[in-house]
Chains A and B, each alone.
Chain A
């Protein structure tokens, strides 16, 4: 299943990006190659053969104040004259979009080519940079950016993980974790029938679930990983998930929360207290559904077949 979802995300993003770019091309969304007229005003006594700062108006673009003056740089060179327009307030929305999506690396300006200039008259025709294959470039950039971000995220976890794993080791050595296991066993033992009654895995699971309930996200993750390590010790096939792991994962993705997550509090402020009951009810329903689903699958795909018959895990 994960194989299909993963491949599906990648293939569909390519298809959607292509569809979107083809639509842009056909309807010429960015008006590539269109000549536009602007009215320039040079400083008094200036020569048009020199680089200089100028101002211009856009006479016939609907939605823009035709009297508004914009800043630009007049840039004559051997290969032709350019009008370098810095991105500024009041430019037509389409121009801003072109600046955002152009090929040039510097997105803070538009280098428009001056195609026609009538000497003596201030009106010139310019062609804005062309915009091609926006979504194609966007998905490539996203792939690389996210790959980098994944490493940042993983490295960022190391410190907090070390802290909790250290504390958990003390709890193990001092037998504190086994005391906890005795307390939670009646409830959790029922959900994890394949985990031995006195196994520390149940302790780690209960700590992770409590951390989740209290909205302690950065404690919950290391504790959850600790629980996974304990469950892995009971796993005969180290590359394949056990039923207990799947049940644990499902309970985590359903996220039993009694306190709203910190990010939500940050976004909503005091308003979040209104959502207190709705979140608890919704999360409880999703937890129960998850547990039912996981136990249904556990019965449908018993573990023994997984070790002998690889195809079960492949199709699952």
Chain B
């Protein structure tokens, strides 16, 4: 599977213009025409990204995370949820770089083969930075009223977090 994922990109990048050429499309001109939009989209998502990222940055810097962990830890430990991975569960939907940091911290503290790292790694791999995706995708088309997208995304994240813990207990526990 990993080999496939390395091969697929160059193949696609070559195959699309090649197919266009065979279909008598002016590939260069059309490519440039499409690529023009890249800049506009990049600029268009800036306000959305600023809004989301600065709020999350403040929240991280305020130390709220540590307090939440102190509060939630004992409660969640009762149902068998390892308290060490709470930072990952909270961080993952909020920030990509933040959750990479959490992952690195956990590896340093507990070692690569520990159960905690396996649970955190599964969480990391199975969910996405919901708020970033939301800001970029809706920002790119200028949609401001996102309706229930946040709730649905967070429900999916929540399911992913619970599933990660359960699956790791089942496979490695």
User: Do B160 and A285 touch across chains, with their CB atoms under 8 A apart?
Assistant: yes
User: Contacts of B144 on A, CB cut-off 8 Å?
Assistant: 239-240
Residues from 1 to 16 in B contacting A, C-beta threshold 8 Å: 1-2, 4-5, 8-9, 12-13, 16
Nearest B residue to A171 by beta-carbon distance?
Answer: B16
User: Contacts of B2 on A, CB cut-off 8 Å?
Assistant: 259
User: Do B156 and A165 touch across chains, with their CB atoms under 8 A apart?
Assistant: no
User: Contacts of A241 on B, CB cut-off 8 Å?
Assistant: 138, 143, 145-147, 149
Contact with B along A134-166 (1 / 0, CB 8 A): 010011011111110111011101110111011
User: Do B147 and A10 touch across chains, with their CB atoms under 8 A apart?
Assistant: no
User: Do A162 and B38 touch across chains, with their CB atoms under 8 A apart?
Assistant: yes
User: Do A255 and B126 touch across chains, with their CB atoms under 8 A apart?
Assistant: yes
Given the known interface contacts A228-B140, A239-B144, A249-B152, the answer about A10 and B58 at a Cβ–Cβ threshold of 8 Å is yes
User: Do B53 and A147 touch across chains, with their CB atoms under 8 A apart?
Assistant: yes
Interface check A219, CB cutoff 8 A: yes
User: Do A289 and B155 touch across chains, with their CB atoms under 8 A apart?
Assistant: yes
Interface check A129, CB cutoff 8 A: no
User: Contacts of B73 on A, CB cut-off 8 Å?
Assistant: none
Given the known interface contacts A232-B143, A264-B103, the answer about A12 and B64 at a Cβ–Cβ threshold of 8 Å is yes
User: Contacts of A157 on B, CB cut-off 8 Å?
Assistant: 41-42, 45, 136
Nearest A residue to B7 by beta-carbon distance?
Answer: A214
User: Do A13 and B46 touch across chains, with their CB atoms under 8 A apart?
Assistant: no
The smallest C-beta distance from A76 to any residue of chain B, in angstroms, reads 39
Interface check B171, CB cutoff 8 A: yes
Residues from 272 to 310 in A contacting B, C-beta threshold 8 Å: 272, 274-275, 277-279, 281-283, 285-290, 293-294, 297, 300-301, 306
- Contact residues of A: prevailing secondary structure: helix
Nearest A residue to B118 by beta-carbon distance?
Answer: A275
User: Contacts of A264 on B, CB cut-off 8 Å?
Assistant: 103, 121, 124-125
Stretch from A14-22, A32-40, A64-72 at the B interface: A14-22
Interface check A107, CB cutoff 8 A: no
A73 to B36 alpha-carbon distance, docked (Å) = 59
Category for how many chain A residues contact B:
35 or more
User: Contacts of B160 on A, CB cut-off 8 Å?
Assistant: 254, 282-283, 285-286, 289
User: Do A170 and B152 touch across chains, with their CB atoms under 8 A apart?
Assistant: no
The smallest C-beta distance from B71 to any residue of chain A, in angstroms, reads 12
User: Do A254 and B34 touch across chains, with their CB atoms under 8 A apart?
Assistant: no
Q: Which of A216, A249, A272, A313 has the most CB of B within 10 A?
A: A249
A223 to B119 alpha-carbon distance, docked (Å) = 30
The smallest C-beta distance from A309 to any residue of chain B, in angstroms, reads 12
Given the known interface contacts A239-B143, A246-B147, A278-B167, the answer about A6 and B51 at a Cβ–Cβ threshold of 8 Å is yes
